[in-house]
Structure 1
Amino acid sequence: MKRIILSLVLLSGTLALAQEKKSDTTKTKSIEGVTITKQVFKKQSDRFVYDVAASPVAKGNTTFDLLKQTPLLSSTDDKTLKIAGKNNAVIYINGRKTNMDAESLAQFLKNTPAENIQKIEVITVPGSEYQVESSDGIINIILKKKMSDGLSGNMRFSNTQNKYNASQASFSANYRKDKLGISANLSGGESIFAQTYTLKNGNDRAFNVSTGEIDNPNKNIGGYLNIDYQLTDNSNLALSWNTWANKGYNSTADLFNTITDESVTTYSWSKNKKNTRSYNNSVNLNYELKTDSLGSKLNVNAAYLNYRKFQFIDNQNYISNVNGEIGKRTSQVFQDLPQLINNFSGMVDYIQKFKNDLTISVGGNYNKTKTDNDTKNDTYIFGSKPSFTSAPNHFIYDENIYGFYATAEKKFSDKFSGKIGARYEITNSLGTSDNAPTVELQRIKRNYNNFLPYASFNYAINDKNNISYSFSSRMMRPTFWQINPVKSILTSNNYTQNNPFVKASSMYNQELTYMYKNSYFLILNHTYFKDVITQVPLQGYPVSPDGTTKTVNELRYISTNFGNKQEMSAMVGIQKSLFKQYWTTNFNIGFQHNINNGSLGVDPTTGDRFKNENGDFVEYINNRKSTSLLIQTNNTIRLDKNKTWFLGVNFFYIDKQQVDLGLIKSLASLDLSIKKNWNDWTFALNLNDVLKTNIVEIEDYQSNGNYNYIHQNSHPRSIAVSLTYNFGNQKVKKVRDIEGASDAIKSRTK
């Protein structure tokens, strides 16, 4: 860096001396020659490219902070990253998916200096070669290549205060010597995730209101170890291991219930205690062989993933009065809900590049997964007629996925390029249950194939105008927990129900993009979802297939496929540095139009239908439309000439819009930060959700008279302080990050 600065100083002096000897015309040309050497933000054939090395935002930032300043990217919770118009963002490094779980990945990004990054690529519509789910987008981080051997690392400490206090610390180190590279990280923290919760459901004649507090303590520790060794000039071998452990003991949910049926009102308490612990370990072995000087290469991956989660819930219900005084216990439910997942994955890719700017890619992958859920459910009823029922269920799920893809990318001229491809997937699965409530649930076998085409085209009209189009099709498979036929109890007559009959959904996406001067852009997007996977609220008096009717009004949130939906959006944005780079801003504004079309009247796990007070069968219907305004702006203001003080001002606003569960009200958040860089130290203070506007409210009114309302306050307003120290040679060459063969499976362990 010092050499670069010195070179720029010498260049400036040379230009100044030349100005005394040349005409004004010559001076103008010299200055222009220096000014236009870098394009900070531009559109390529299938991706947006943000040249970090040419941007003033990178200095003194972490990678996570830098990503939040990248056009089209945002973070509403300072933990996850989202691409505008996408459900999720998958992180790649140097073209390879990061082999980390979400928690360790966030820490890795928050403890990696942004000075090591050359550019960031945002792929809104991934090609056939990428293993991503549904409408996920990709963030590809390209690291600088010219880095010397040595040791570097950093230590980070942070403390956050909202309703409770949370602390976290991490240590990371990178070492490279000749052909060997080692990267390691260890981080841990302690926090309490708190919610103030309100649920209302029913109709004018019978309804239920539940309000209370939910506190979920968490202690976690984890890290990663990556080893990379250059076998020859053209081949590399890499081994990566990721581990993460979480402990959430003494989690509580205390809800006060007001139940009205006709003119009779009763009161009760639901008190839940939950102990949870989980372990995630994965290992990946990668071999890469470069086959020619043009960049053709072979990649082979083998991976193993082991995920274990143990959860014990004690749900107790008590009689109460209008004043909330606790009376006699009416029922108690013990649930033991373990989840064991083992996955083996293999992946082979070959990329062949030709001299005529043609690139052909072919590859395949295999995933074998087995889940084991030996659950127990014991119910005690107290009172004049006490009773006990036990409902154990051992559910085993075996799944095999075979995937094959081929793509062809061609640069026809300096102005026009295109890429086409397709992916073919074969899925075979078998789910068995030894104590399912119905015969249909005892053995569920599925075999299905999917053909997923892809195409993208890019045309540079001239130096200032660029237009591109992309089409993609993807699958979204249910998580492994969603297909385990168990229920999680919230109150005595309100619970969530998993569903092994859930099938994979399909997504078709089209996107048209126009860019002007590499600073201003317009994005038009249309996405069609078929067989959407979601939770559907069914409520009323359950009627079993044999005609038995319960006398208690129930609310069940059932995981299932719920019709189809469309999302259409139009967004304009700007990425620009102003006032001699003292102010760098990303600003997006647009509209999103949602069309929902789904209905459900039968519980797919039991066959139950639901009646209202009049004895009529009812169903949940969502065929509504909504149009919403979306605004997002991220700003970094440099406060001094030495580039050591920075002020951050970030804001987002999402207008109310129709979602699967109803109408979600508007969300907004104003976040402020101040940062000081001092040699190898960075001090930061962050204020999140200053206006306390990031609170979730969902309401839904059905034509049959039923309504459902959810209010969830996760206390996002917080203040956080952090201290980061960087040590060693910061130009250490990073370990080659490898796309794990099991990465497509990891997201389904949630």
Structure 2
Amino acid sequence: MNKLLFSLVLAIPCLVSAQDSSGRKTGDTVRLFRSMDTVSIQARRHVIEVRGGKMILNVGQSAAATGGTVLDILQHAPNITLDPNENLLLKGSAAVNVLIDGRLTYLSGQQLSNLLKTLSVESVSRIEIITAPGAQYDAAGNTGIINIITHKSNRQGYAAALTAGGGFGHFGGQTTENLSGNIRSQHINVYTDLGYSKRSLLPYRTNYQRSSFNGQPAVYDRALTNPFHTGSYSYKLGVDWTLNDRQTLGILYAGYYNPWKRNVNGPTTIRDTAGKILSILQNRDFQNEPSTSNAYNLDCSFHLDTAGRVLTADADYISQHNQYDGYVGNAPENAQGQPQGAFQQLNIHQPSYIDIRSIKADLTWPVHAWKIRTGAKFSAVRIDNNFRYDSVAGGLSYFDSSLSDRFIYTEKIAAGYASVSRQWKGLSVEAGLRAEHTVSEGNALNTAQDNKRRYLDWFPSLSLEKQAGKQHRLSLTVSRRINRPPYGDLNPVRYISDPYSYYQGNPNLLPELAWVGVIGYTLKSKYVFSFTYTRQNHLIAETAFINDTSGALVVTNANYPHSDRFELLTVIPVEPVDGWSINLASNFNYTEYPLILATDSQQVRRAAVDLTLSQQVRLSSKSSFELISRYLSPHTGGIYLSGHYFSVDGGYKISFRQGKMEGRLGFTDLFHTIRYSGSSLSHTLQSGYYNTPDTRRISVSLTWRLGGQLTQGKARTLDEQRRL
């Protein structure tokens, strides 16, 4: 079957060549749009573009984005991947800001992934990836910013889009429904977006570790099935008022609800070094974690004159509640699989309450040929996480004080910035400076661990861009960034897998500081080359060690002294024949950092490559086919060397009824080749994992557009990073 599918993939160029020879006019192709600010790298308004220092995914143009979610389409972007837990990574790091319409999501890890799964790709206009933001952007996020722009019409009248989709994979089906629209008059615009996504998946997870069992060397092998179900709801309602020619006022409410749950089953098999089974542990891990989020925003803008002087202000309040209930259970067996003891169970109750408040103001003030920007912001965060473990024995529950704790975290950030920019003939310059003063406290009440920090950091930035003739453009950007530890990683409680493996937070994590420099060159307004150097101090990355007392594998995050990363990104578009567009995006990178453990010390050096080949075939003026192939070579991340993987996604798109209806048929991971694997880089700690996600799926969707055409939403000033 895989050979047949692979043959079809290779046959695409032949099909296109045959179509081209049929006499279709070359004039049917929409030519590349070329200007100093825009570089289009595929036919029409293409799936991937590079504009003004941003890499842009035009989601609406992708036939592969069928019945899927924003999390699915993000994996088509160069440098964006997922880790084995579906955490979003940019350039291999979780130190990235994720925003929706310029607004902070305030989520990370599994919660962020769950939110992105609720957002239908049909509700999104484009996704921007900014790797070197200026002083007007928050300094958080060492690897950059991902800004998701949703649809909204700027024309008077009404516009709406209704999408329904479904699909299936190895384990179960999926459904996606979305309604987005707005009604605009001369002075008022009311817009909304409602989404629902339901999905059932069955990934397989295996991992191993070498430690000891009853005083002798042993190997622990885990083989787990991890079925989980998610049915996520997202909802948004906003109003924009144009009070007069110079003043606008906006109110926005956005929320989501996700009743996420999973049920993990499988054995931990303990063997001696010769392979003889010493013991077996049958595992059960049930998690029921419904989460809700409610966000409110008030924004206003004042055009002080007609010369471009503008004052804007935003106020935000976000409330989130996560209710985690479940248990971890283990049934010991002997080598023959016979029960060897009573079922051991730990019940888990973990309510988490999060409140976030922020207010900001920005002023743009042109002075002759110069443009001056300045602004200030204050944000306050409070998190209350009560983590309770109860041991169950004889049908009775007993509070386990050694594992339970209550963690309260507060953080206040006061920031201010100023920047100045100017354009000369063929040259544009922008320089800025941002200051952020942070006061934080993480208090684990039961263990009396109270970590207080107060620090002031300065973040300069510089951007130069030179247009040399009509075919050459050079750019240079330099900025200093910060990555504060995710709130959950500061919580010292344990997340237990079985008696021999658990994750534990690290309350002593320090913020990660980085210098990022990018040199860019664009040839003929379409061929893009960029070189990036990133120097990170106090790098936050995963590490692991063996608990000397219990022999358990302990996974946590730690600060590595520093890291150096060099990257060469190239974007090469070609059009072999009329109607067949090819785009090759390649990222060659080299990473180096010291790996320092209690029993091991070495210098990690690793080169890697990330290749994305996108092909678009325009079958007619109303239909197209897209194929996206990606290869990611082995790459480093903290203590682990992650394995390579290859994937092929694609889809067919057709519009009818004068463009009012659009149908899509898509597939992901065609050959089921995506694997998340890794092994320890340490000479003394031997552990690793090999996970098979449930990613080979086929989907179909139908979109019905009413009224006018939805366009991109209002791009607001970007906010601080998500760290929950």
Q: What band does the TM-score fall into relative to the shorter chain?
A: 0.7 to 0.9
Q: Matches of residues 316-465 of structure 1 in structure 2 within 5 Å?
A: 316-322=329-335, 324=337, 328-356=341-369, 358-380=370-392, 389-391=400-402, 392-411=404-423, 413-436=424-447, 439=448, 441=449, 443-465=450-472
Shift of 1:504: 1.4
Once residues 150 and 228 of structure 2 are traced to their aligned partners in structure 1, the CA distance between those partners, rounded to angstroms, is: 37
Q: Matches of residues 274-293 of structure 1 in structure 2 within 5 Å?
A: 274-293=287-306
Amino acid at match of 2:697: S
Shift of 1:198: 0.9
3-state SS, counterpart of residue 463 of structure 1? coil
Identity of aligned residues (%): 19
Shift of 1:277: 1.0
Once residues 559 and 148 of structure 1 are traced to their aligned partners in structure 2, the CA distance between those partners, rounded to angstroms, is: 51
Match of 1:198 among 174, 194, 206: 206
Amino acid at match of 1:189: S
Once residues 380 and 75 of structure 1 are traced to their aligned partners in structure 2, the CA distance between those partners, rounded to angstroms, is: 42
Amino acid at match of 2:131: T
Match of 1:707 in 2: 686
CA contact (8 A) 1:107 1:170 kept: no
CA contact (8 A) 1:573 1:586 kept: yes
CA contact (8 A) 1:588 1:632 kept: yes
Shift of 1:566: 1.8
Shift of 1:318: 1.1
Match of 1:501 among 504, 508, 514: 508
Amino acid at match of 1:376: R
Match of 2:130 in 1: 123
Match of 2:263 in 1: 252
CA contact (8 A) 1:228 1:736 kept: no
Once residues 64 and 330 of structure 2 are traced to their aligned partners in structure 1, the CA distance between those partners, rounded to angstroms, is: 53
Match of 2:171 in 1: 163
* C-alpha distance 186-672 of structure 1, shift in aligned 2 (>3 A): same
CA contact (8 A) 1:46 1:125 kept: no
Match of 1:26 in 2: none
Once residues 465 and 93 of structure 2 are traced to their aligned partners in structure 1, the CA distance between those partners, rounded to angstroms, is: 21
Shift of 1:133: 1.7
3-state SS, counterpart of residue 720 of structure 2? helix
Show structure 2 runs of 5+ residues with no match.
1-26, 41-48
Show structure 1 runs of 5+ residues with no match.
1-30, 542-549, 602-617
Q: Matches of residues 3-402 of structure 1 in structure 2 within 5 Å?
A: 38-39=34-35, 41=39, 46-48=52-54, 88=96, 90=98, 93=101, 96-97=102-103, 110-112=121-123, 123-131=130-138, 132-139=140-147, 147-202=155-210, 205-249=217-261, 251-260=262-271, 265-322=278-335, 324=337, 328-356=341-369, 358-380=370-392, 389-391=400-402, 392-402=404-414
Once residues 259 and 75 of structure 2 are traced to their aligned partners in structure 1, the CA distance between those partners, rounded to angstroms, is: 34
Shift of 1:496: 0.3
3-state SS, counterpart of residue 563 of structure 2? strand
Shift of 1:107: 5.9
Q: What does the per-residue CA deviation read over 1:229-251, in whole Å, with 9 as the maximum and x for residues that have no partner? A: 011111100011111011124x2
Indicate yes or no: 2:650 matched with 1:672: yes
Amino acid at match of 1:215: P
Once residues 173 and 63 of structure 2 are traced to their aligned partners in structure 1, the CA distance between those partners, rounded to angstroms, is: 30
* C-alpha distance 139-479 of structure 1, shift in aligned 2 (>3 A): closer
* C-alpha distance 158-74 of structure 1, shift in aligned 2 (>3 A): farther
Once residues 604 and 75 of structure 2 are traced to their aligned partners in structure 1, the CA distance between those partners, rounded to angstroms, is: 34
Q: What does the per-residue CA deviation read over 1:536-560, in whole Å, with 9 as the maximum and x for residues that have no partner? A: 111152xxxxxxxx2x311001233
Once residues 337 and 80 of structure 1 are traced to their aligned partners in structure 2, the CA distance between those partners, rounded to angstroms, is: 21
Amino acid at match of 1:317: N
* C-alpha distance 325-129 of structure 1, shift in aligned 2 (>3 A): farther
Once residues 479 and 51 of structure 1 are traced to their aligned partners in structure 2, the CA distance between those partners, rounded to angstroms, is: 27
Match of 2:527 among 520, 528, 535: 520
CA contact (8 A) 1:282 1:305 kept: yes
Match of 2:572 among 560, 571, 574: 574
* C-alpha distance 435-176 of structure 1, shift in aligned 2 (>3 A): same
Bigger Cα Rg: 1
Shift of 1:387: 9.2
Once residues 245 and 675 of structure 1 are traced to their aligned partners in structure 2, the CA distance between those partners, rounded to angstroms, is: 30
**Greater relative contact order structure (CA < 8 Å, 6+ sep):** 2
Q: Please tell me the root mean square deviation across aligned C-alpha atoms, in Å.
A: 3.6
Shift of 1:222: 1.9
Q: TM-score of the superposition, structure 1-length normalised?
A: 0.81
CA contact (8 A) 1:458 1:469 kept: yes
CA contact (8 A) 2:231 2:259 kept: yes
CA contact (8 A) 1:213 1:254 kept: yes
Q: TM-score of the superposition, structure 2-length normalised?
A: 0.84
Once residues 143 and 353 of structure 1 are traced to their aligned partners in structure 2, the CA distance between those partners, rounded to angstroms, is: 31
Amino acid at match of 2:691: Q
Q: Which moved more, 1:293-302 or 1:263-272?
A: 263-272
Once residues 528 and 184 of structure 2 are traced to their aligned partners in structure 1, the CA distance between those partners, rounded to angstroms, is: 40
Once residues 246 and 203 of structure 2 are traced to their aligned partners in structure 1, the CA distance between those partners, rounded to angstroms, is: 53
Match of 2:665 in 1: 685
CA contact (8 A) 2:356 2:381 kept: yes
CA contact (8 A) 2:124 2:150 kept: no
Once residues 565 and 572 of structure 1 are traced to their aligned partners in structure 2, the CA distance between those partners, rounded to angstroms, is: 23
CA contact (8 A) 1:342 1:369 kept: yes
Match of 2:494 among 470, 477, 487: 487
Aligned residues: 666
CA contact (8 A) 1:280 1:307 kept: yes
